[in-house]
Amino acid sequence: MILPFFKYQGTGNDFVMIDDRNETFPADDQALIERLCNRRFGIGADGLILLRNDPDYDFRMIYFNADGAEGSMCGNGGRCIVRFAHDLGVFDRATRFIAVDGEHEATVTEADVSLRMSDIAGVGKQGTHVFLNTGSPHAILFTDDIESTDVVADGRAIRYSESFSPGGTNVNFVQQTDKSALYVRTYERGVEDETYSCGTGVTAAALAAYQHLGVAEPVAIRTIGGNLQVSFKPQIDGTFTDVYLIGPAQRVFAGTIVI
Ligand SMILES: N[C@@H](CCC[C@H](N)C(=O)O)C(=O)O
């Protein structure tokens, strides 16, 4: 089977993107997806995303982590699939699509994709860690020295710790750099490594930093792969609505998979 694919990146979080509106991609073949995402033996990516039709929305997003298993919501992947759908001519400026955590709205400009995230139930705790779910589970650790943090070793220890068993969690290390600015580094579950950026992770970091450090909204966030912005409306009951993840997302190449 010969299958066209595209590759997109959003602040260095990179994805194999497949137009699967005819539903021919073997989505249950975990070994194949893992191989395609492998940086030595495949295309190389943090995840693989299928764009499918949906009767009620412009499209459906199906996201797989680099380990080949279907993941929870991916914020950067969401921004990338919006850019992909726009490139395919699925919509012009604004779109509504469905993902694993429900409905999302998004708009595109030449420079950026603005993605509305799910409303957030609040910033809580799990074990000793600040924890929240922004479509994916995220532990948050505040630090004053992010540059020298061992994100892979420390992140992996928390990801596999008893507190987050059996599902595990993504782990974000967060340093406040200004009144409304953060630097965030993330260990990603399913990639099992530090990635250059994590969209649901920086969203979680912004909300947790608002709550715990009094960071001002909107929050500017630096990641290894580039800059993002998170805006939101905090509610009196501790929940957050109108949560937007904003930043660049672009196609980096196209190719053909031979299965
Ligand atoms: N890179 C993603 C996060 C993807 C979800 C995660 N790896 C998981 O399944 O836990 C993002 O940009 O949000």
pLDDT above 90: residue 27: yes
**pLDDT per residue as tens digits for the range 153-197:** 999 999 999 999 999 999 999 999 999 999 999 999 999 999 999
**pLDDT per residue as tens digits for the range 198-249:** 999 999 999 999 999 999 999 999 999 999 999 999 999 999 999 999 999 9
For position 1, what pLDDT does the model report? 87
Domains within the chain, CATH numbers bracketed: 2-113+248-258 (3.10.310.10), 124-247 (3.10.310.10)
For position 259, what pLDDT does the model report? 86
Burial of 50 (C-beta count, 10 Å sphere; 0-12/13-18/19+):
buried
pTM, entire model: 0.97
Q: Catalytic annotation on 198?
A: yes
- The confidence band for 115, taking pLDDT boundaries of 50, 70 and 90, is very high
pLDDT above 90: residue 99: yes
**Residue 189 in marked binding region:** yes
For position 250, what pLDDT does the model report? 98
Set 45, 198, 209, 220: catalytic member? 198
For position 123, what pLDDT does the model report? 98
pLDDT above 90: residue 100: yes
The mean predicted confidence, pLDDT, of the chain is: 98
Set 45, 62, 74, 202: catalytic member? 74
Of all atoms in ligand 1, which is nearest to the CA of residue 136? 10
Going by alpha carbons, the residue nearest to atom 10 of ligand 1 is 189
**Residue 38 in marked binding region:** no
Instruction: State the amino acid at position 68 in one-letter form.
Output: G
Residues with CB under 6 A from ligand 1: 13, 65, 71-72, 74-77, 136, 170, 188-191, 198-201
